[in-house]
């Protein structure tokens, strides 16, 4: 069974991987044999995550390549330096995202709306288009977009974020159709509330946490590592017949 999840010799880029869900995914990809690029805007936090992962897996599995996802040139540099340091890109995880506004959409300014759409949709499109040609040429590859259950429902306070995450699901479906004949799979993972800095406003206060988890079947917040196993599945041979799908991992929040 373990051979189904063996990623030995494969190379992965994981954006937003200096902390939270991205770091957990990078860690588990490395633990299953992959070489991983740790990438976010700040080099020092990337280096810290790299060192933590390499110590945990007992080998030099992770390298650091900082990049700002809003900068198309920086994303191309990320891909080019991955080729220089590791070789071909077999796995791409688009995890980095932004949500600079909390409140009704009527109060959002244009810059905030544009930033959400840029970082959560357009940047994913850019990066995927940079790595897809080599995957298509080899007729093998796995692309994973980290979406959110926010993309499945409306919200009075994170509406634009939800719009962007719904669009990521459709981006995956479209690209799965386009890339499918070349055996390149594209899927999304839609986490519920997970204990990350990104979602801190929803769990940092005990009363807020209780309200945030009351509507879920498991009645608790998720941990980043509880999302990472799905990424391993989708990247490995176990997920070789899986494409165009959204996998909800939310402690039962969307079934209540």
Which residues are annotated as catalytic?
A: 161
Backbone angles phi, psi at 133, to 5 degrees: -55, -40
∠ CA 91-11-141 to the nearest 5 degrees?
30
* Neighbour tally for 77: CB within 10 Å: 14
Task: Tokens for 92, please give them.
Answer: 């791409």
- Please give the C-alpha separations between residue 169 and each of 54, 75, 173, in angstroms, as whole numbers: 32, 21, 6
Residues ≥6 apart with Cβ < 8 Å to 111: none
């Amino acid at each position: 069974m373990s051979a189904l999840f063996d990623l030995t010799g494969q190379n992965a880029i994981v954006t937003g991987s200096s902390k939270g869900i991205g770091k957990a995914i990078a860690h588990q990809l490395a633990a299953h044999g992959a070489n991983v690029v740790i990438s976010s805007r700040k080099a020092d936090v990337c280096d810290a995550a790299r060192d933590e992962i390499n110590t945990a897996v007992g080998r030099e599995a992770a390298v650091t390549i900082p990049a700002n996802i809003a900068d198309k040139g920086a994303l191309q540099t990320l891909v080019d330096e991955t080729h220089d340091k590791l070789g071909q890109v077999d796995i791409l995880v688009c995890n980095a995202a932004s949500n600079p506004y909390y409140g009704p959409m009527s109060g959002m300014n244009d810059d905030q709306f544009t930033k959400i759409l840029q970082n959560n949709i357009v940047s994913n499109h850019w990066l995927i288009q940079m790595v897809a040609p080599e995957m298509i040429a080899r007729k093998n590859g796995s692309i994973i977009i980290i979406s959110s259950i926010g993309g499945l429902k409306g919200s009075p306070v994170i509406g634009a974020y939800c719009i962007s995450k719904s669009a990521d699901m459709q981006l995956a479906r479209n690209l799965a159709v386009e890339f499918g004949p070349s055996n390149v799979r594209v899927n999304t993972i839609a986490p519920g509330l997970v204990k990350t800095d990104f979602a801190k406003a929803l769990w940092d206060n005990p009363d807020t946490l209780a309200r945030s988890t009351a509507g879920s079947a498991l009645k608790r917040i998720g941990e980043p590592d509880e999302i990472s196993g799905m990424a391993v599945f989708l990247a490995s041979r176990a997920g070789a017949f899986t494409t165009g799908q959204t996998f909800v991992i939310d402690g039962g929040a969307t079934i209540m």
